[in-house]
């Protein structure tokens, strides 16, 4: 995966911190010490979910590298935008956040007005993790393969439903991308999260879903749902027998979910570099790699520039899907 900073971020200066010699920000900037107090890592989703799990592992690893506590604060709302708005408005790099694919690449094409400027008020630090998604059907749906699913959907356009974790989220847009590429039609049923969507999938209220593997894995293993394809370039380590969309002839149906570390756009460059160094070291820990893998996460990494380039690509990709599928926030 190629993942580079927007041009607007390339020349961030320390001027906002230097206007008033008596201000806390000025004293902090002049001290040259970072971090000089505990950090806050904002996870823009509820406690206990995948983002929270990945965020807490990262916080623990970064704390050891920075020799300061990294305290996780859950601040959910608006598909991750609410929490990232708090990061964007922070005064320095002691407040950072876990940015999701929704907040980092999708919502700016859906919301009438973002509360912050995505390419300016937030600075990309490092890709934290990728989470593959898997296309599944209710076990009683009567299909066992991807080809059988396509045949059934094409024979019954608009008859069946798919569930998503919410309108405008990556699980919604990923399925719309699937529909576009395969020439199929299903009714979208949005839920407030992946868990209720999965519950209704098992209950046969909806027949199809394309959701993150960690959410679906227990139900795949129990036989309640049938996994047909992974929407990624490579097979999922936890589902090695399930083919990828690329293998099945649909390489454009690639919808890895992801989370990245972001800092305030006004944070000093040297502090962002220190954050990157600490996070990169933490992500190389075998203990963290194993912990991520256990819940279906593939550890990220790379430079801040690679992350910024990747986010630009994701913005363009999902903007195209939003336009083609005429997706609107409900």
pLDDT in tens, 180-201: 999 999 999 999 888 899 999 9
Contacts of 276 (CB under 8 A, 6+ apart): 125, 126, 303, 304
In a domain, 239, yes or no: no
> Which of these three, 230, 248, 275, is where a domain ends?
230
- Structure-block tokens of residue 192: 């407030």
Asked whether the predicted pLDDT for residue 210 surpasses 90, the reply is: yes
Residue 283 lies in a domain: yes
| Helices 50-66, 286-294: inter-axial angle, 10-degree rounding | 170
Which DSSP string corresponds to 202-213?
A: HTTSS-EEEEEH
The answer to the question of residue 242 being in a domain is: no
Give the neighbor-by-neighbor strand order of the sheet with 208-212. 187-190, 161-164, 208-212, 133-138, 225-230
Q: Are both 147 and 295 inside the same structural domain?
A: no
Residues 111 and 49 in one domain: yes
- If you average pLDDT over every residue of the chain, what do you get? 89
Backbone angles phi, psi at 257, to 5 degrees: -75, 160
| Residue 225, domain member (yes or no) | yes
- Express as a percent the part of the chain with pLDDT over 70: 90
Q: Hey, CA dihedral for 24, 25, 30, 35, is it positive or negative? A: positive
Claim to verify: residue 165 and residue 222 sit in the same structural domain = yes
Mean pLDDT on 16-24: 29
Residue 242: which H helix or E strand, with range?
Answer: none
The answer to the question of residue 223 being in a domain is yes
- φ/ψ of residue 27, rounded to 5: -60, -40
CATH number reported for the structural domain that contains residue 147 in this entry: 3.40.190.10
Residue 91 CB-density burial (10 A; 0-12 exposed, 13-18 middle, 19+ buried): middle
DSSP 266: T
Residues 266 and 117 both lie in one domain: yes
Q: Which two tokens stand for residue 86?
A: 């708090």
Segment 228-287, tens digit of pLDDT: 999 999 999 999 999 999 999 999 999 999 999 999 999 999 999 999 999 999 999 999
- Cβ burial 97-111 (10 Å sphere, 16+ → b, else e): bbbbbbbbbbbbbbe
Domain total in the chain:
2
**Using one digit for the tens of pLDDT, what is the confidence trace for 298-310?**
999 999 999 999 9
Q: Among 230, 247, 282, where does a domain finish?
A: 230
CA distances for 1 relative to 19, 126, 229, 257, 309, angstroms: 41, 13, 19, 12, 11
Neighbour-count burial of 112, counting CB atoms closer than 10 A to its CB (0-12 exposed, 13-18 middle, 19+ buried): exposed
Same domain? 102 vs 169: no
Check whether residue 125 and residue 143 sit in a common domain.
no
Provide the domain limits for residue 272: 37-131+257-325
Encode pLDDT of 103-155 as tens digits. Answer: 999 999 999 899 999 889 999 999 999 999 999 999 999 999 999 999 999 99
249 in any annotated domain: no
Q: What is the pLDDT of residue 329?
A: 84
Q: For tokens 């890895």, name the residue.
A: 256
User: Do 216 and 272 have their domain in common?
Assistant: no
CB 146 within 8 A of CB 135: yes
Q: In whole angstroms, what is the distance from residue 75 CA to residue 88 CA?
A: 13
Going by pLDDT thresholds of 50, 70 and 90, the confidence category of residue 166 is: confident
Domain annotation covers residue 9: no
Same domain, 126 and 268: yes
Residues 145, 122, single domain; the answer is: no
**8 A C-beta contact, residue 328 and residue 176:** no
* SS3 state of residue 74: strand
Task: Specify if 192 maps to a domain.
Answer: yes
Q: Which of 165, 195, 230 is the last residue of a domain?
A: 230
Residues 153 and 184 sit within 8 Å (Cβ to Cβ): yes
Among 291, 211, 214, 218, CA closest to 255: 211
Q: Are 120 and 145 in a shared domain?
A: no
In DSSP terms, 74 is beta-bridged to 43
pLDDT at position 248, please?
97
């Amino acid at each position: 995966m190629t993942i580079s900073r927007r041009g607007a971020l390339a020349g961030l200066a320390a001027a906002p911190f230097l206007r008033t010699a008596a201000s806390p920000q000025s004293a902090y900037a002049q001290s040259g010490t970072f971090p000089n107090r505990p950090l806050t890592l904002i996870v823009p989703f509820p406690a206990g979910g995948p983002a929270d799990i990945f965020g807490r592992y990262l916080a623990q690893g970064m704390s050891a590298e920075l020799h300061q506590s990294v305290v996780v604060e859950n601040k959910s709302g608006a598909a991750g935008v609410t929490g990232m708005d708090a990061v964007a408005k922070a005064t320095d790099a002691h407040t950072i956040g876990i940015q999701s694919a929704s907040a980092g690449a999708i919502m700016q094409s859906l919301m009438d007005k973002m509360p912050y400027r995505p390419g300016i008020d937030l600075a990309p630090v490092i890709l934290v993790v990728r989470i593959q998604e898997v296309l599944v059907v209710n076990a009683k749906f009567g299909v066992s393969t991807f080809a059988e699913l396509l045949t059934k959907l094409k024979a019954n356009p608009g008859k069946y439903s798919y569930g998503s974790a919410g309108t405008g989220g990556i699980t919604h847009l990923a399925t719309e991308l699937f529909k576009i590429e395969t020439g199929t039609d299903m009714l979208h049923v949005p839920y407030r999260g992946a868990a209720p969507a999965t519950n209704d999938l098992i209950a046969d209220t909806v027949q199809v879903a394309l959701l993150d593997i960690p959410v679906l894995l227990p139900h795949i293993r129990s036989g309640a749902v049938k996994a047909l394809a992974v929407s990624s370039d490579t097979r999922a380590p936890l589902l090695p027998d399930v083919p990828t969309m690329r293998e099945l002839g649909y390489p454009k149906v690639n919808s890895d979910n992801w989370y990245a570390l972001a800092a305030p756009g006004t944070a000093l460059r040297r502090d962002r570099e220190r954050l990157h160094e600490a996070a990169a070291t933490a992500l190389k820990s075998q203990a963290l790699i194993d912990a991520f893998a256990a819940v279906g996460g593939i550890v990220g990494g790379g430079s801040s520039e690679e992350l910024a380039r990747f986010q630009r690509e994701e913005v363009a990709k999902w903007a195209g899907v939003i336009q083609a599928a005429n997706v609107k926030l409900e």
